[in-house]
């Protein structure tokens, strides 16, 4: 079987890394295609190098653009590669425009589609990611659901049982494998002058938050109040788009410590040593849960309800009062919750299933 692994963003590289490592262990016929949805491959090269992954065979350099423009550009470019390479199956991960474009290109060429992290639902169709998830799942032949809840979501939409496989989430594999690598890397904690357990970590980058002035301003106000209330550093590695929108909206933070984005290994160090994480990222919600660090989600909903059910996470929305209230709740909460995302062997299961071992 010839397999095409398609990635387009840094979270996809991270979550697909365990699958790539499994394919490397076996006599597998596969190659990697990087769409360059958010960045050029040259900017992402460090991720492949740090995670000790082979470089992509193809780099599409799709770049940014409107959702329709970006999706169309990726679809056209991927179709050409798939026609040339004729793989038996493509593997995509998550909910980006790259994922949807790849699935559409493959299904129209009668190439099978495997969707890693299938079945996640926020039930908010205002989110472009939700549309991408739903359409990709309904194009897919192999739906690798991370949890029983994800499988139930798929069954509720009429997807046949025989297409769905509960594998666990590859983020568990990725965190476990990458922590070992991170321990041998330069210490981001020391570089930033931080002490373990004595800072809060923030990520805010989702379109629904940073492209809306009122929401973004409310979040920043809440985070400033949090820093003042606890007299503890609040570290915010700012995504380039978020920084651009802060400037556009003329938003300022009095007490937040804004830093440049860090690589995955450095960010993993920051996450694992934080006292509390506040985020609008789905992946960071998962990572915090796995690492045993309390999390406050700066959104009105989440496609990771398992993190809330086990007590690792709480939804705060964007109200400053609610952000402060939820932070206090999570700081007082007992740790030691179970990890709902699996045993760290999802990558192996996915490769086994593709090879006919079920």
Q: List the domains of the chain with CATH numbers.
A: 2-169+342-354 (3.40.50.2000), 181-332 (3.40.50.2000)
Q: What is the pLDDT of residue 61?
A: 82
Contacts 24+ apart (CB under 8 A), 180-185: 181/50, 181/51, 181/52, 181/265, 182/265, 182/266, 182/268, 182/269, 185/50, 185/265, 185/266, 185/269
pLDDT over threshold 70, residue 177: yes
Helix, strand, coil fractions of the chain, as percent rounded to 5: 50, 15, 35
Say how far apart CA 87 and CA 94 lie, in whole Å.
Answer: 20
Q: Retrieve residue 261's tokens.
A: 């984005």
Backbone angles phi, psi at 317, to 5 degrees: 70, -145
What is the pLDDT confidence band of residue 42, given thresholds at 50, 70 and 90? low
pLDDT tens digits for range 221-254: 999 999 999 989 999 999 888 999 999 999 998 8
Under a CB-based contact definition with an 8 Å cutoff, are residues 18 and 170 in contact?
A: yes
Under a CB-based contact definition with an 8 Å cutoff, are residues 43 and 129 in contact?
A: no
pLDDT tens digits for range 256-293: 999 998 888 899 999 999 999 999 999 999 999 999 99
Q: Retrieve residue 269's tokens.
A: 């160090």
What is the pLDDT confidence band of residue 126, given thresholds at 50, 70 and 90? confident
How far is residue 353 CA from its own chain's centroid? 23
pLDDT over threshold 90, residue 183: no
Write the DSSP assignment of 205-250 as a string of letters: --HHHHTSHHHHHHHHHHHHHHHHHHT--EEEE--HHHHHHHHHTT
pLDDT over threshold 70, residue 82: yes
pLDDT over threshold 90, residue 78: yes
Q: Retrieve residue 37's tokens.
A: 């949805």
By annotation, the residues acting in catalysis are 205
pLDDT over threshold 70, residue 16: yes
Say which range, 142-146, 218-222, 257-261, has the weakest mean pLDDT. Answer: 257-261
| Angle separating helix axes 282-291 and 10-25, nearest 10 degrees | 60
Q: Which pTM does this prediction carry?
A: 0.91
Cα-based distances in Å from 129 to 3, 116, 120, 282, 325? 25, 15, 10, 11, 28
Say how far apart CA 327 and CA 293 lie, in whole Å.
Answer: 12
What is the pLDDT confidence band of residue 41, given thresholds at 50, 70 and 90? low
If you ran DSSP here, which 8-state letter would residue 64 be given? -
* Nearest residue to 324 (alpha-carbon basis) of 221, 195, 203: 221
């Amino acid at each position: 079987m010839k397999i095409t692994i398609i990635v387009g963003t840094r979270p996809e590289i991270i979550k697909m890394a365990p699958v790539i490592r499994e394919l490397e262990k076996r006599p597998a016929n596969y190659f990697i295609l990087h769409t360059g949805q958010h960045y050029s491959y040259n900017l992402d090269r460090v991720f492949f190098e740090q995670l000790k992954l082979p470089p992509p065979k193809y780099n599409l350099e799709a770049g940014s653009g409107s959702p329709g423009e970006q999706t169309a550009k990726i679809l056209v470019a991927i179709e050409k590669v798939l026609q040339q390479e004729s793989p038996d199956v493509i593997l995509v991960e998550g909910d980006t425009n790259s994922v949807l474009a790849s699935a559409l290109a493959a299904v129209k060429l009668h190439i099978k589609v495997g969707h890693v992290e299938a079945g996640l639902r926020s039930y908010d169709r205002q989110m472009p990611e939700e549309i991408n998830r739903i359409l990709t799942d309904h194009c897919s032949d192999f739906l690798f659901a991370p949890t029983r809840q994800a499988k139930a979501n798929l069954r509720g939409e009429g997807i046949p049982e025989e297409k769905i496989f509960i594998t666990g989430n590859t983020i568990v594999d990725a965190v476990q494998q990458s922590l070992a690598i991170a321990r041998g890397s330069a210490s981001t904690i020391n570089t930033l002058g931080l002490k373990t357990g004595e800072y809060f970590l923030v990520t805010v980058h989702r379109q629904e938050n940073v492209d809306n002035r009122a929401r973004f301003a409310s979040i920043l106000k809440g985070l400033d109040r949090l820093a003042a209330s606890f007299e503890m550093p609040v570290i915010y590695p700012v995504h380039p788009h978020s920084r651009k929108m802060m400037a556009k909206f003329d938003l300022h933070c009095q007490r937040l410590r804004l830093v440049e984005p860090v690589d995955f290994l450095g960010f993993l160090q920051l996450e694992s040593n934080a006292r509390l994480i506040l985020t609008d990222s789905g992946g960071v919600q998962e990572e915090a849960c796995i690492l045993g660090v309390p999390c406050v989600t700066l959104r009105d909903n989440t496609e990771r309800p398992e993190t809330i059910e086990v007590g690792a996470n709480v939804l705060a929305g964007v109200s400053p009062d609610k952000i402060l209230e939820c932070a206090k709740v999570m700081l007082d909460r007992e740790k030691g919750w179970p990890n709902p995302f699996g045993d760290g062997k999802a990558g192996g299961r996915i490769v086994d299933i593709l090879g006919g071992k079920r």
